[in-house]
Structure 1
Amino acid sequence: YRELLLRQRINEAAQAVMVAYAMGGDLDQLAANYNVKRLTVTPADNDAVPPVAAVMESDEALRLRVPAAFEGLSVAGPTAAYEFH
Structure 2
Amino acid sequence: MTKKKATEDQFNELHNLVTKEFLARIKSGEASTQDLKAACDWLAKNDISGVALEGSPLDKLANIMPTVDPELVQRRLYGSKV
Give the TM-score normalised by the residue count of structure 1: 0.30
Which of the pair has more CA radius of gyration?
2
- Larger % of strand: which? 1
Higher relative contact order (CA 8 A, sep 6+): 1
Give the TM-score normalised by the residue count of structure 2: 0.30
